[in-house]
A and B are shown apart, each in its own frame.
Chain A
Amino acid sequence: MLRLNRGTKIILGIITLVVLGFMYIPMFVIISNSFNSGRVSGWPIAGFSLEWWEKALINPAVHAAVLNSVIVASVATAFALVLGTLAAFALQRFKFFGQHTVNLLIVLPITLPGIVTGVALSNTYYQVLKPMGINVGYWGMIIAHATFCVVMVFNNVIARLRRMNPNLEEASADLGAGIGQTFRLVTFPQFRPAFIAGGLLAFALSFDEIVVTIFTAPPGVETLPLWIMNQMARPNEVNQVNVVATVMILLSLIPVYFSQRAQRTSDAR
């Protein structure tokens, strides 16, 4: 144990409080402003009202945006699950020339700034494919999201594969199971938790993504983050954004709860 005198402990405590205040005051102010009776967000709020909650919850644009976000994140996650798992098996089970390059290739879309990915893909969609008569439309956004989601699934699955016992698969093959049957009955159940975790992370990443989406969303289509951005430009309606933001803060408790529970079960083992 690090021996610290009282003064140092107090200073460290104050720094911790400052960090927490810095993190949580903005969220607290957002939540308060979702109940603001005034038109303009600020502090202190003008008065209590549920007007913005009512408006936001029945706003068809919000419903459409949520639906778009769910569709894009689900389809992108499905692609990422397939691609990320295949790549994880290839890189974990084989030693081959160019392995490091392949690894870099998978990590690259998340390492480079989102704006680079966005601009590069939008350049391809609108300057190359469109003149050729190919209109990517809605799929352009899904393809872009899937590209940077692959790494989430890949990282989780490969970490699990490294700790798996390969003899079980050999045993299954010796007992006459084919590749498909072995995968279904022996291999997949072993890495299923990592597969699900990777999928959830990919979904969360896609759901929250804004920069790549700005450049790849087809005209007139809004995901939830895009709706928030467009709504911010209408100053009189900005408190509706605070309602949606409050809901998003509350939703963030779900993954925290699950990761905490997963932590506790792994500590218990």
Chain B
Amino acid sequence: MSTQNVRERAPRPISTALYRHPRGRLASLLTLPMVWLVGVYILSLTIMLVTAFWMTDPFTSRVKPGFTLENFVQLLTVPAYSMTALRTLGIALAVTLICAAFAIPLAVFMSQVAGPKLRAVLAILVTLPLWAGYLVKIIGMRLVWTENGFFNWALEPLGIHGPGLGVLTVIFTLVYLWFPYMAIPVYSAISQIPANLFDASSDLGARGYRTIRTVVTPLLLPSLIAGSVFTFSLSLGDFIAAMYVGGSTQMIGSIIAQNINLNPPLAAAFSFVPIVLVIVYLAAVRRTGALNNL
């Protein structure tokens, strides 16, 4: 009979239970990631927050639990510390502006001037440094900007002497490191602008520059902001660049790294500077609504 072909269904208690209880399904999915992220990461951040209010005994250099605002007071009143915080903020903003200033013309060239072949090659050339190792790029910058480096050699006949290792080189290096994070979203945004907007602009009498300024740039704003989140927050926390190409330049990260063993509470207090700045920046960006388009 035909019933012979129907196989007896094996009971599947676990599958059945999970199917009947969506909450159970959710819990079984979410437990492991949450235990990891809360148990490892959030717990560590919290402990660090608490440590920032502790003291280091100046004689035994052992950490004493307690409650003091001394570390935060130092951060604000010791001129070297507050200057470093301001310098780091300035560097991060400069890096973001330079990245944006070069990403727009590059994107315009790639999408509007270059033919399809050249465009594909440029797309590869812009993304390749993204994969080429963080330290590799820092070493490269160190090699080309030092006293006996490539740029001093190349610019010598013109009578130009490079800046040597210092704040400016740190800015250049951070631009080098994070530029693709700005260039890629800006390029993909400009490729999506409908061509008839350009026609409309030129029909209304705007020339190339004016169209770039008044039509293209506002349309690129969300992608510029998205890119700036990376360039800004990645620059803010960096200290390796300052270490290798900065000469005596210090950034927030340098102070944290120096104090992590000597004075952990001060290092912990200093860690809150980039966290607060990133949160303020994200909140400011959120108000523009650009993050919804990501």
Contact = CB atoms under 8 A, between A and B. Distances in A.
B253 A29 contact: no
B2 interface: no
Contact of B109 (A16, A173, A225): A16
Contact of B153 (A16, A43, A143): A43
Interface residues of B, number: 93
Interface string B113-136: 100000000101111110111111
B44 interface: yes
B199 to A, nearest CB: 8
Q: Which of B42, B108, B236 is most buried by chain A, counting CB atoms within 10 A of its CB? A: B108
Contacts of B51: 123, 127
Nearest to B132: A252
Interface in B96-155: 102, 105-106, 108-110, 112-113, 122, 124-129, 131-137, 139-141, 143-144, 146, 148-150, 153
Interface SS, A side: helix
B267 A119 contact: yes
A120 B45 contact: yes
Contacts of A13: 109, 113
Nearest to B207: A5
A248 B133 contact: yes
Nearest to B120: A260
A245 B176 contact: no
B40 A121 contact: yes
Contacts of B185: none
Interface stretch (A55-63, A176-184, A190-198): A176-184
B128 A225 contact: no
A150 B35 CA distance: 13
Interface string A40-59: 11111000000000000000
Interface in B190-218: 195, 198-199, 202, 207-209, 211-212, 216
B120 to A, nearest CB: 8
B246 to A, nearest CB: 14
A248 B132 contact: yes
A245 B236 CA distance: 25
B181 interface: no
Interface string A14-31: 011001101111110110
A4 B208 contact: yes
B144 A150 contact: no
Given A119-B48, A147-B41, A176-B9, A2 B30 contact: no
B37 A147 contact: yes
Contacts of A83: 32-33, 36-37
B1 interface: no
B14 interface: yes
Contact of A94 (B26, B128, B267): B26
B66 interface: no
B140 A30 contact: yes
B280 interface: no
B37 A1 contact: no
A242 interface: yes
B93 interface: no
A13 B153 CA distance: 24
Contacts of A248: 132-133, 136
Contacts of B33: 83-84, 86-87, 90, 106, 150
A73 interface: no
Given A29-B144, A87-B30, A179-B18, A115 B139 contact: no
Interface string A152-181: 000000000000000000000100101110
Contacts of B131: 204, 252, 255-256
Given A1-B199, A102-B34, A113-B275, 14 more contacts: A1-B195, A3-B207, A3-B211, A19-B179, A23-B129, A27-B129, A90-B26, A94-B26, A109-B37, A180-B15, A210-B134, A211-B239, A242-B143, A252-B131
In the A-B complex, the 8 residue pairs with the closest CB atoms: A113-B237, A26-B140, A252-B131, A178-B15, A4-B208, A90-B29, A12-B109, A120-B44
